[in-house]
Amino acid sequence: MLNGMRRGRLYCVVCLFVSLAAAALVAVLASGTDSRAETPTQDYALTRARDQVKMLDSLYKTAVVSVTKRYEEGPPAIKVAMDVFVAMEKDGWHKAKLVDASGTPQNEANLPQTDFEKRAAKAMQAGKPYYEEVDGEGAKRTLRVATIVPAVLKRCASCHGAKEGDLLGFIRYELPVK
């Protein structure tokens, strides 16, 4: 009987140590979780959408400049890019459009139309090569980006009545952030 009680007390001491150790472990883990919670949460979806714009921008610009260099005659390469823009939008991937920022476009229909396009044109004229806005909340956000399009070749400049390097316009991208 006495033995039993002593053993009981002994177990209790063991219990106390075990629960103290467990409490200490929980405290350590909890502080670990806390410090992780304090680091600002990364907006991975927005980073991915921006990276996609970078990739598309390089793709379109390389294609337009390459076609312009390789095919001396015929309709401007930008017509090819416009066909690709339409296909991308039709298939629901993203929206892209070539917009004028020179004020004297080859085609009046390319003048800035939406409020975003007007703000982007001003930003490009002020010397910014990149302009973006994020609209909406939660899963319904939209990333709008404008990237500069200068007269990168003599041929662009001469057909557009500009000097090489002059600002001609921008590509306007519209992507869901998901």
The helix (run of H) or strand (run of E) holding residue 105 is: none
Q: What is d(CA 90, CA 124) in angstroms, rounded to the nearest whole number?
A: 28
**Least distance to ligand HEC from the beta carbon of 72, Å?**
10
Q: What is d(CA 96, CA 50) in angstroms, rounded to the nearest whole number?
A: 14
Decide: is 49 part of the binding site for ligand HEC (CB under 6 A): no
Q: Which residues contact 154 (CB under 8 A, 6 or more apart)?
A: 164
Decide: is 159 part of the binding site for ligand HEC (CB under 6 A): yes
Decide: is 120 part of the binding site for ligand HEC (CB under 6 A): no
Decide: is 162 part of the binding site for ligand HEC (CB under 6 A): no
Q: Kind of pairing, strands 130-135 and 167-176?
A: unpaired
Span interacting with ligand HEC, options 88-96, 113-121, 134-142, 144-152, rule CB under 6 A = 144-152
CA 176 to chain CA centroid, nearest Å: 10
Q: What is d(CA 54, CA 56) in angstroms, rounded to the nearest whole number?
A: 6
Decide: is 46 part of the binding site for ligand HEC (CB under 6 A): no
Decide: is 73 part of the binding site for ligand HEC (CB under 6 A): no
Chain residues in the site for ligand HEC (CB under 6 A): 64-65, 68, 76, 78, 98, 100, 105-107, 109-110, 149, 151-153, 155-156, 159-160, 168-169
